[in-house]
Amino acid sequence: MSPSANRLFQRHRAKVAFGFLLTAAVASCSSPDKPADAAATTAAADSAATSSATPSGSPLQVVAEFREPQIVGVAVLPDGRVFGDFPRWDNNPVAPVAEIGTDGSVKPYPDASWCTWNESVRDEPQKHWICPQSVYADKTGMLWVLDPASPGLKGTIPGGPKLVRIDPKTNKVAQNIGIPESVASRKSYLNDVRIDTQHRYAYITESGVGSLVVIDLASGKARKLLATHPSMMGDTTLNIKADGHEMIDATGKRARFNADGIALSQDMQYLYWKPLTSYKLYRIKTEALRNASLSDAQLAQQIEDLGQVPACDGMEIDAADNLYMSTFEDHSIKRRTPAGKIELVVQDPRLQWPDTFAFAGDGTLYVTTSAIHKTPSWNKGVGKQDQPYRIFKMALPK
């Protein structure tokens, strides 16, 4: 997710205590303005009334529920351990990166020190989670945390942006790569990451400016690519909607979220991405991204426009190279087959802005709901979140 630049993610939560509900309870990034006509008002009320109900036959199972703060990312290790991240947008979560217990409990990860960010540690921005945006488990079982270091989405903390590898066997940081301001500027927002374990590279979408960031994991060298290229930028001519209402902020501007969703093909030969407020999907050969001798102009010539897909936030690719998309406009998950066909996977009113995906070792798909459309930025300053934030899981359809 990304601000218009960064302010699009302003959250309505005051400082509230962490809460969670157990999995046994009810099984689900700014929201529509108040409808003007009676019919629309009734529809909105019906939507709120049904958004927490479990539809008959839905394959979605609740893994965990949280009242506050807002969850965004999820990662699942081969052994089944589940992790989540809760960015510091306008609250100060005790566990901005957390291991989620089977009972829904939340444990600061890798420890309480890493999860602390206050005046006492301001001189150690590389040793603490400032505003972690993404957690990701790679094919070797390592856990990666991407920290854009922009609390409140008000600009990066100098020296704070980083990509961190944690070894879950020891629960210790194994690699910490600081991302310089020349790559992650003060207006940047590092958004999501995929790890190429074959070539030892990281590929990152950056939403604030609109770019890709590529990191050589062996050397730690980071490069910013294709900044403000049309394939990176959100489209403000579209009437992107959620719950049937166009996303317009308090100043009357349409939502604009730049490069966000990202996915790596199973053979690691192609990187896919798209701006969130866009109906276009793009890909490029990872070989080109790793070639530091290519200019942005030369890279742009290798971008493939894959045509129209639904607006979505998160993306992920399964073992059969189907591209899954968290399609928030109609509370659904869809997938694009290798042949380019768009298929509905599940539609469920509890999918209040489906956000980030993760695959478990057995192929089970996990997804978070972050209810971005119900935050004050898109509701004339009034937050309208009416259900817990959730982590779901489901078996994939054949």
Supply the DSSP string of 279-321, one letter for each residue: SEEEEEEHHHHH-TT--HHHHHTT-EEEEE----S-EEE-TT-
Higher pLDDT, residue 250 or 203: 203
| Spatial strand order in the sheet of 162-167 | 134-137, 143-147, 162-167, 172-178
pLDDT at 375: 82
Banded model confidence at residue 91, pLDDT cuts 50, 70, 90: confident
Q: pLDDT category, 110, cuts 50, 70, 90?
A: very high
- What is the band of 291 on the pLDDT scale with cuts at 50, 70, 90? very high
Structural contact between residues 189 and 161, judged by C-beta atoms closer than 8 angstroms:
no
pLDDT value for 54: 80
- Alpha carbons 162 and 146: distance in angstroms, whole number: 6
Buried b (16+ CB within 10 A) or exposed e, 43-70: ebeebeeebbeeeeebbbebbbbbbbbb
Range of the domain at 126: 6-394
| 51: confidence class by pLDDT, cuts 50, 70, 90 | low
Q: Note the pLDDT of residue 247.
A: 87
Query: What is the C-alpha to C-alpha distance for residues 289 and 271, in angstroms, rounded to an integer?
Result: 9
Residue 327's identity, in one-letter code, is: T
Domains in the chain: how many in total?
A: 1
User: Given its phi and psi angles, is residue 221 left (phi above 0), alpha (psi -120 to 50 degrees) or beta?
Assistant: beta
Confidence of residue 398 (pLDDT cuts 50, 70, 90): confident
322-359 pLDDT, tens per residue? 999 999 999 999 999 999 999 999 999 999 999 999 99
User: Does the pLDDT at position 26 exceed 70?
Assistant: no
How many Å apart are CA 151 and CA 119, to the nearest integer? 13
Instruction: Tell me whether residue 120 is exposed, middle or buried, using C-beta atoms within 10 angstroms of its C-beta: 0 to 12, 13 to 18, 19 or more.
Output: exposed
Answer whether 96's CB lies under 8 Å from 132's CB: yes
Q: Establish if 1 belongs to a structural domain.
A: no
> What pLDDT digit, counting tens, does each position of 117-131 carry?
999 999 999 999 999
Q: Which residues contact 89 (CB under 8 A, 6 or more apart)?
A: 9, 10, 11, 70, 131, 151, 152, 153
pTM of the model: 0.87
Confirm whether 187 is domain-assigned.
yes
Q: Is residue 71 part of a domain?
A: yes
Q: What pLDDT score does 52 carry?
A: 62
Strand, helix or coil for residue 149: coil
pLDDT tens digits along 209-229: 999 999 999 999 999 999 999
Position 51 in a domain: yes
Cα 114 versus chain centre, distance: 21
pLDDT per residue over 250-262, tens digit each? Answer: 888 888 899 999 9
Residue 219 located in a structural domain: yes
As a whole number of Å, the end-to-end CA separation of the chain is 30
Residue 33 lies inside a defined structural domain of this protein: yes
Q: Is 297 exposed, middle or buried (0-12, 13-18, 19+ CB in 10 A)?
A: exposed
How large is the average pLDDT for residues 32-51?
A: 35
Confirm whether 296 is domain-assigned.
yes
- Please report, for the domain that includes residue 256, its CATH number: 2.120.10.30
Mean pLDDT of 93-116: 96
Say if residue 385's pLDDT is above 90.
no
